[in-house]
Chains A and B, each alone.
Chain A
Amino acid sequence: MKIRSLKQVLHWVFLVVGIISLITLAFSISTYLDYAREGYGLDISLSEAWLNDDWLVVRVYIENPGGLDIELDGGNVTLGTTYAIPHGILPNGLPQNSPLDIVKAGKNTTIVIWVPIGQDDLANIRDTGMTDISLDLRITIPTRYCRTHLLYQATGVEVVP
């Protein structure tokens, strides 16, 4: 196709940019809705888990690629049974605060979650050395006036007794 005029060039440039915009728009909408449904873009992975008497301690690594600060308020840990993450002074003498931590915009953080577990789960972990873990963390996004959940599941997690 020969170029005949500036109008023609602009139309074809617009066509290309417009199609890129349409694809980006669809992807942005899908991402925005997924953020609100769960996690708000936080990427969570479990680094390690261990037992401290009858407490399960898990260290999780959280990445926040987005542009908003996100508070991790607390939540539940499910093994065989569901346990609420407590706030207050822990057996190691340090506090477990509320919120647990704030993941700054574009930053990463590591948090350690302590939770007391029941005898059944404790016995199971001591027998097998591993467990299935499901985390359900409540998160708050103060600048969006929004509260939602961050979910994480892992099977066969090795737990150091």
Chain B
Amino acid sequence: MQDTPSLPGNRRGGGPIEPLRKGNDQDSTESIGEFWTKQEEETPEFDFSIYNSIPWMILKTSLAISMMTLVYILYGLHELPWRLFGSGTGLLILAGAPFFAGIILGYSFESPKLSLFYAIIIGFISIGLGFLIMSAPYLMKLAYYEMGFMSDVWFYGFFIPFLLTISFVPAGAMLAASTNVYE
């Protein structure tokens, strides 16, 4: 019978674990430690906190607002040649943009609650801005409008963006927040 070294916990089966790196029994652990230290020295420290600095936060927030506002208005404004309404790709973009914005905003804070709160607030600001843009010609009296116009604005400028915001922004934010424990 083959002589196997005793394993902790009286484990049976299997053979001795070969070290992945070459080394004898005396210095294998030590050499792995040296290898890791060497790797750390070669790889400069990557500080992710730069992406949560004030300038980046301002940039991320403003771009998240513009991205979500854009897709909300492009879904509602059927008159524009580059509208999102009426296509499967349009729907994907409509759902994807708030999700993506939610992910990026979710990375911003260590606390998942704070990330979630911040992302939803930014989502609501985007809804407000989109609503304002869609109703702007009516408010500025650029043309003659009947009341049906504002009904459309409430539906496409508030109802649909609200559903998207409360669904996809928190989903993205929480996905990102859940990975914040890893660097």
Interface residues of A (CB under 8 A from B): 4-5, 7-8, 10-11, 14-15, 17-19, 21-22, 24-25, 28-29, 31-33, 35-37, 40-41, 65-68, 141, 143-148
Residues of B within 8 A of A146 (CB): 137, 143-146, 149
**B64 on the A face (CB < 8 A):** yes
13 contacts between A and B (CB under 8 A): A5-B183, A14-B60, A17-B63, A22-B66, A29-B136, A32-B137, A36-B142, A66-B78, A141-B79, A144-B79, A146-B137, A146-B143, A146-B146
Chain B's interface: helix, strand, loop or mixed, by majority? Answer: helix
The verdict on A32 contacting B133 (CB below 8 Å), with A144-B79, A145-B147 known, is yes
For the complex, give the distance between the alpha carbons of A136 and B85 in Å.
31
Top-5 shortest CB links A-B: A18-B63, A36-B137, A148-B143, A145-B148, A145-B146
Nearest-Cβ distance from residue A63 to partner chain B, whole angstroms? 11
Residues of A within 8 A of B142 (CB): 33, 36-37, 148
Within 8 A of A (CB), among B78-116: 78-83, 85-86, 97, 100-101, 103-104, 107
Q: Which residue of A lies closest to B77 (CB)?
A: A32
**B127 on the A face (CB < 8 A):** no
Nearest-Cβ distance from residue A47 to partner chain B, whole angstroms? 23
Are B63 and A67 in contact, CB atoms less than 8 angstroms apart?
no
Interface residues of B (CB under 8 A from A): 46, 48, 51, 56, 59-60, 62-64, 66-67, 69-70, 73-74, 77-83, 85-86, 97, 100-101, 103-104, 107, 133, 136-137, 140, 142-149, 152, 179, 183
Known: A14-B100, A147-B144. 10 other contacts (CB 8 A): A7-B51, A10-B103, A18-B64, A22-B66, A32-B80, A33-B136, A37-B143, A67-B85, A146-B149, A148-B143
Q: A40 touches which one: B51, B79, B152 (CB < 8 A)?
A: B79
Q: Which residue of A lies closest to B101 (CB)?
A: A14
For the complex, give the distance between the alpha carbons of A18 and B133 in Å.
18
Q: A8 touches which one: B51, B70, B83 (CB < 8 A)?
A: B51
Are B140 and A33 in contact, CB atoms less than 8 angstroms apart?
yes
Are B48 and A8 in contact, CB atoms less than 8 angstroms apart?
yes
Are B78 and A143 in contact, CB atoms less than 8 angstroms apart?
yes
The verdict on A22 contacting B63 (CB below 8 Å), with A8-B51, A11-B51, A37-B143 known, is yes
Q: B83 touches which one: A15, A19, A67 (CB < 8 A)?
A: A67
Q: Which residue of B lies closest to A147 (CB)?
A: B144
Nearest-Cβ distance from residue A35 to partner chain B, whole angstroms? 6
For the complex, give the distance between the alpha carbons of A121 and B118 in Å.
67
Residues of B within 8 A of A141 (CB): 79
Are A28 and B77 in contact, CB atoms less than 8 angstroms apart?
yes
